[in-house]
């Protein structure tokens, strides 16, 4: 008789941990996306408001350092690429975590959840076929 309540408690703990993992991943995605948006704003400001000076002040931690504008743009673009990759990786991991949570809860797997967008080459091929 004592095994049933223990098993229920273990099951609820497992479901709660899986749900917490999903929420943590979603929160990480939101945080990284916020940073990506700030970088995008900075890139636009640097490209549109380029003044006569060759250098701009960049904040590193709690210090401002004068840095060449071209190098600053390059650094931000590299950071954008890294953020895009991290967000994509988290999205892929999130799909597996959501499926795991649904499995634990006895829900069916989400349909169409493993879809991915067409690449530019695939779109060109489809357009070529449709234009015939």
Average pLDDT per block of 10 residues along the chain, 132 residues long: 84 93 96 95 85 78 89 93 95 90 85 75 90 78
Q: 131's torsion region: left (phi>0), alpha (psi -120 to 50) or beta?
A: alpha
Q: What is the predicted pLDDT for the residue at 55? A: 86
- For residue 27, the cross-strand partners are none
CA separation for the pair 56, 69 (Å, rounded) = 6
Q: What is the predicted pLDDT for the residue at 59? A: 84
CB 58 within 8 A of CB 67: yes
What SS3 class is residue 104?
helix
Q: Which helix (DSSP H) or strand (DSSP E) does residue 73 occupy?
A: helix 69-105
Q: What is the predicted pLDDT for the residue at 44? A: 92
Domain ranges in the chain are 3-50+80-130
pTM reported for the whole predicted model? 0.74
């Amino acid at each position: 008789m004592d095994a049933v309540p223990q098993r229920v408690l273990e099951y609820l703990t497992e479901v709660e941990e899986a749900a917490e993992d999903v929420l943590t991943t979603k929160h990480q995605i939101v945080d990284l996306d916020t940073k990506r948006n700030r970088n995008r704003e900075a890139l636009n400001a640097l490209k549109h408001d380029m003044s006569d000076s060759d250098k701009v002040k960049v904040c590193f931690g709690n210090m401002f350092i004068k840095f060449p504008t071209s190098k600053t743009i390059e650094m931000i673009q590299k950071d954008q690429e890294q953020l895009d990759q991290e967000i994509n990786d988290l999205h892929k991991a999130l799909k597996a975590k959501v499926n795991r949570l649904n499995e634990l809860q006895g829900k069916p797997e989400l349909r169409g959840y493993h879809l991915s967008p067409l690449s530019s080459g695939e779109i060109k091929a489809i357009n070529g076929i449709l234009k015939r």
